[in-house]
Structure 1
């Protein structure tokens, strides 16, 4: 499926017969689903012209270079000096170019892959180019590393335990828990085998909470919660449910961008 990220058009300035170039940028990943470091995303730039001898659309490299690296391009021209990727369209033709990019490990908080495009049209007589400013709309949120939350249910006065190592499939191999914080109504500890223990204080029943920290091989740290319930849950269905994966984790597979790329036309031109 093709997901629209941005669309725009450039309108010529010649008085009697202004040409128009339409362009739209599509992604193989839906903006709301997000991407993770290492994921490969396909971008497709679609271009079409009206009453113009040709038209261009550009993906501007400088706006996504920190978030992704180019793996391959198809039917796209690259201009190193300007740092843009260009697709050309002729009359009666819908020009489409593809870029495959790999998402980088983010360096900013709330990182996003937000490509910018520009659109250009020449005059029918002068051939002077009219180019829009940088255009952007939707983006792909880059999901950073996270450790899963843990759950412990135990009886009053009885120690409980959770296995942290068995839940770290979302992190890089070699990640390990290194510390725990202390809850309000008990004590917590970390064993050498990666198990996290909790012991409620005498007489306590109800909910408690603390956190555990995981160290990754690259020197980073990730913190996640451990939620605790002390008491019986048999007569309280639906309270403090246990969430477990019922199947082995499989990477999500998306369809490649194929077929015609329609280009929606904005109500007013961006350069108008």
Structure 2
């Protein structure tokens, strides 16, 4: 399903019989947030009316590049000073071009991606463009991706394992990194399982973070809380753990 992101209509100032419509659409629903690393496809369709010389449509660059990188701009001309990408067609010749955005890995806590387009008509060769101001109608919310937090309870003198951290994200997801813990070491298996090795004699809490590459949905980061000790000794809010982990088991 294609979602209409922005529509702009341009009418020539002195020759109103010359007009055009430019539609920006995407299969990505603006009601859903975009995540770091996610790629979003767009289509720009130019529909001319009348017998003008050229009909132009533009994708504005500046509202996008703070949060995303433009990709696959084949067929567009880049107007660097004006900070926009343009294309044109002729009378009676509708045209559709496609391009993509890739959300940057480093995004603020809650960003807004607001695609904007503009359009204009040249009535005859050698004349100036009669155009309109950029229009933006629907926005995307860009949020850091958060993976579910994990709780790992390790018996004293033993190691603990969380198998398949990426499995719940789907078949295309994979574990791409785990931060070093403060009071131990970790090992990562090819299937995405993480094994925690506590320091000798350590009893208490530790913490580490994991990163999953979630296919087309981008990058997700989550936290693993580790408690080394017996479950009944866990203080605070974690006094009722979801499971007591021996090697090879997992709690959510």
Normalising by the residue count of structure 2, what TM-score does the alignment of the two structures yield?
0.61
Residues 172 and 84 (structure 1), Cα distance of their counterparts in 2 relative to 1, 3 Å cut: farther
Other structure's SS at 1:174 match: strand
SS at match of 1:63: helix
CA contact (8 A) 1:148 1:168 kept: no
Asked whether the equivalents of residues 21 and 48 of structure 2 are also in contact (C-alpha less than 8 Å), the reply is yes
Name the SS for the 1:167 alignment partner: coil
Query: Displacement of 1:224 after TM fit?
Result: 5.6
Asked whether the 8 Å contact 2:57–2:119 carries over to 1, the reply is yes
Q: Counterpart of 2:80?
A: 80
- Matches of 2:181 and 2:146 in 1, distance apart? 15
How big is the shift at 1:113?
3.0
Contact 1:45 1:87 in 2 (8 A): no
Shift of 1:150: 4.0
Residue 212 (structure 1) shift: 6.0
Change in Cα spacing, 1:135 to 1:17, as seen in structure 2 (3 Å) is closer
Question: For residue 128 of structure 1, what is the aligned residue in structure 2?
Answer: 128
Contact 1:20 1:52 in 2 (8 A): no
Q: CA deviation at 1:23?
A: 0.6
CA distance, structure 2, for counterparts of residue 4 and residue 114 of structure 1 = 13
- CA distance in structure 2 between the aligned counterparts of 1:190 and 1:107, rounded to whole angstroms: 30
Question: Separation in 1 of the partners of 2:69 and 2:128?
Answer: 33
SS at match of 2:30: coil
The answer (yes or no) to whether the contact 2:107–2:142 under 8 Å persists in 1 is no
* Structure 1 residues 11-90: aligned runs within 5 Å: 11-14=11-14, 17-53=16-52, 54-90=54-90
- CA 1:107–1:17 in 2, change beyond 3 Å: closer, same or farther? closer
Offset from partner CA, 1:113-144 (integer Å, 9 cap, x none): 32211111234699432222221122333341
Alignment check: 8 A CA contact 2:178 2:208 kept: no
Aligned length: 201
| Superposition deviation, residue 146 in structure 1 | 1.4
Change (3 A) 1:215 1:224: closer
RMSD (Å), alpha carbons: 4.2
- Per-residue deviation, residues 161-201 of structure 1 (Å, max 9, x unmatched): x966753677962224758xxxxxxxxx99975499xxxxx
- 3-state SS of 2:176 partner: coil
Give the alignment of 1:223-238 within 5 angstroms: 230=240
2:192 is matched with which residue?
Answer: none
Q: Secondary structure at the match of 2:137?
A: coil
User: Aligned pair in 2 of structure 1 residues 57, 177: CA closer, same or farther (>3 Å)?
Assistant: same
Report the structure, 1 or 2, having the larger helix content.
2
Contact 1:121–1:131 (CA under 8 A) maintained in structure 2: yes
Q: State the Cα distance separating 1:86 from its structure 2 match.
A: 1.0
Mapped contact 1:34–1:143 kept (Cα < 8 A):
yes
